[in-house]
Chain A
């Protein structure tokens, strides 16, 4: 009896937490990407949208609800997902190419890269980009065969060192000229948006 009450409490708490975090609620399940924000297209769990993206687990569960998560995940993914892929990972999108072969770059990987590059991309765009990048990476990986060899790297074709000029002050550009193309100006300065996020 106590066990049942306990389990019920866990489920209720998890649902309440997930609802508050926007992970569940009326409407489609909202996937969480590795970045922690950036909700793009919403996808139903377990439904193939016909774009060669099979959806795995997409919910971040508090550790306490892990067992429940695993059960739900397996059921919806329709395949085997080991505990490692569920525990501690936000998303395990599995992207396949036209032949159904799994590709090396996951949508999560591409999402992470888009974050680093500060480019907002939707889930559809990320899913489309991953196989394209894979094709390119596959063809350029051939350079890796010299990775172990003791060859000096070349960064510039015509090597130059110590290119100096005399330490003399010369006129630079007036502030007004530099501000002309600016998106927003205030007090002869570039007006930037707020630096801190709402979540910060």
Chain B
């Protein structure tokens, strides 16, 4: 593996800052890697070659003129195609927005640009972020670099695959029910969902507004923390944005010490339905945390049993409202406008043509849950259940500093394996959903490979609201201890990354 592609983001930033390697060269190497491997992996929907090189040259010029560079200046990054970015189409992986160029940038993208980072391109996702496998993308699925017959997770499968394929050292994602953490777990990478309101949602195509949260993805804990620092912070354009300083996640990631921490294992997140390889690696990781000096306690969160049901009521309801804007009138796909057909009929035809099956399913489900006569039984009750789940977290955090669980019950499954069984697909989010409902911070960290299929397994760390740093503290300590045990990072064990390259 090429030394530049293998380097961490922190290392690349250091090289750019000292002049050891130019940002332009780093960018060029990554662009070549993408060109060689994207036909197989299909992680990128759009690549902005010229603009990326231009940005990189700008950073080199800045350094040459003696200006101080930000922490990640010159480092390439992949952006999930849900963030508005004026330089390339933003499609949400849907025919509805195919080719649509946003007239403005999302706040997150503006922060990346202000930090002099080099945006390589937009990555694939499940259509409108609805899914756990990236199979619902209108532009083809993305393949897991660990095993090309398996899914890279979803909805942020493009970002996680780009990292695991060494196409980019950093990526952004969004997490509504696990869309950062589950892909991280099944690709052996790191992904964190910040506290709700920690990162601005302005310019991020909305799925479920009370659950969505953009977050950082990388191959190691420190890189993730560095990106978190760039992305997070109060934004007046997002009225749910938290007016408080970003917790010191970088220091926490570097601390590598969990002595004295009380770590709670959630009883309800394990057992039946969980793959044996996942449970085995999880148990070993918990034991390792104990050896590192943490106090392990068992914590019960009984209402977590209802989290999946609560989520699959609240989320579709909010989706049905958020996706009402795609009516073919002001932007996006318009079908059937022949001068005779009415606006309502054009809307119906445009939405029928623009949305895929899973999107339609969730919109209809949400419409039902919110319709007169059913509101109290479904959506109203789900909101009460959400209160109970938050209370479970509150009482759990009186007994421990963080909670841990597997990030997802299984390893990466094969394409098509769960497409027919909707509930089986939805259950991929069992462990991740509670943190979206309660809004607290949570991250997934790689802890090994499952014995049965040699596919990556992730451990999820859940921290209280505004205590994002605790996730990084545990993740960082685990990472160091595991790397010691393995003799190197987990991603070194990806079989034949070169086979991803298309022969020219």
Contact = CB atoms under 8 A, between A and B. Distances in A.
A118 B390 contact: no
Contact of B196 (A120, A157, A193): A157
Contact of B383 (A113, A153, A163, A184): A153
Contacts of B384: 143, 146-147, 149, 151-154
B351 interface: yes
A1 B331 CA distance: 66
Interface stretch (A10-18, A68-76, A133-141): A133-141
A178 B103 contact: yes
Interface stretch (B11-19, B359-367, B402-410): B359-367
B329 A192 contact: yes
B1 interface: no
A165 B235 CA distance: 11
Contacts of A144: 377-378, 381
Interface in B422-458: 422-423, 426, 436-440
A42 interface: no
A103 to B, nearest CB: 13
Nearest to B210: A156
Interface in A96-118: 105, 109-110, 113-114, 116-118
B interface: dominant SS: helix
Contacts of A118: 324, 327, 344, 347-348, 351
Interface residues of A, number: 54
Given A113-B371, A147-B376, A192-B343, A181 B100 contact: yes
Interface residues of B, number: 74
Nearest to A195: B343
A149 B242 CA distance: 31
10 contacts: A135-B423, A141-B309, A144-B381, A153-B380, A154-B390, A156-B210, A160-B197, A183-B333, A192-B329, A193-B343
Given A133-B361, A155-B383, 15 more contacts: A117-B320, A139-B309, A140-B378, A143-B382, A144-B381, A154-B387, A158-B242, A163-B240, A165-B236, A180-B101, A183-B334, A184-B337, A193-B341, A195-B343, A197-B345
Interface of A: 105, 109-110, 113-114, 116-121, 129, 132-133, 135-137, 139-147, 149, 151-158, 160, 163, 165, 173, 177-178, 180-184, 190, 192-198
